[in-house]
Amino acid sequence: MRYWLMKSEPDEVSFEDVLAAPDRTVAWFGVRNYQARNFMRDAMSVGDGILFYHSSCAVPGVAGIAEVASTPYPDATQFDRAGKYFDPKATPEQPRWISVDVRAVEAGRFLALSEMRAIPALEDMVLLQKGSRLSISPVTPGQWSTIVSLLREGER
DNA sequence: GCCAACGTTGGC
DNA sequence: GCCAACGTTGGC
């Protein structure tokens, strides 16, 4: 059992969108970074914990808790010529990019990035390192429990 | 919109 | 294999 932070732009897929999806589950598509892909391919297991993070928005931060709900499979968007995630070098025989399914588990309150930066127990988070842009990053068990506790205090 | 930081591409 | 140029990310 491992823990992850996964960034999504809420204009594209918000945590609320996942909560509203059938079985509270969506495909995590559009990862086009090898390091992030390799985490999905090599290190994730079904049931791993996910901090669902909203990025590139007015107030970035952790919007909820989710879990890995599938093993990896080819990301369909790499084959869609008309889509922005199309990759001309990918073929169904030799896919480059993968998805996993993500299931929303619980919302809790919103934990803003600005608040996370002020918490000493979180200062080593990959997310908070200078220049860190990884869309999927590992979270330690200590960081996970700190954040889950904060999400559960003062439910929205 | 700005811009720092980082990743990728491609010429050599 | 180097590295300059370019593109992207993402907070502010």
Report the nearest residue to nucleotide B8, CA vs C1'.
A33
pLDDT value, residue A82 = 85
Helix (H, G, I), strand (E, B) or coil at A47: coil
**A108 Cβ contact partners less than 8 Å away, ≥ 6 residues apart:** A64, A65, A148, A151, A152, A155, A156
Tokens 């000493």 belong to which residue?
A: A120
Distance A51 CA to B4 C1' (A): 26
Whether A133 CB is under 7 Å from strand B = yes
Q: Which nucleotide is nearest to A34 (CA to C1')?
A: B7
Token couple for A90 = 């990918």
Token couple for A48 = 């791993």
pLDDT value, residue A154 = 66
Whether A129 CB is under 7 Å from strand C = no
Helix (H, G, I), strand (E, B) or coil at A139: strand
pLDDT, tens digit (0-9, with 9 covering 90-100), for A77-99: 999 988 889 998 888 888 999 99
| DSSP H helical ranges for chain A | 15-20, 34-38, 113-117, 141-152
String of DSSP letters for A44-87: --TT-EEEEEE-SSSS-EEEEEEEE-S--EE-GGGG-TTSTT--
Strand C contacts (CB < 7 A) among A residues 3-42?
A: 7, 32
**Full pLDDT tens readout for chain A, 156 residues:** 999 999 999 999 999 999 999 999 999 999 999 999 999 999 999 999 999 999 999 999 999 999 999 999 999 999 998 888 999 888 888 899 999 999 999 998 999 999 999 999 999 999 999 999 999 999 999 999 999 999 998 655
Those nucleotides of strand C lying less than 7 Å from any protein Cβ are: 8-12
Fold exhibited by the domain A3-144: ph1033 like fold (3.10.590)
Q: Which nucleotide is nearest to A127 (CA to C1')?
A: C10
Whether A56 CB is under 7 Å from strand B = no
pLDDT value, residue A89 = 87
**A104: closest CA among A1, A9, A15?**
A15
pLDDT value, residue A11 = 94
pLDDT, tens digit (0-9, with 9 covering 90-100), for A139-148: 999 999 999 9
Whether A114 CB is under 7 Å from strand B = no
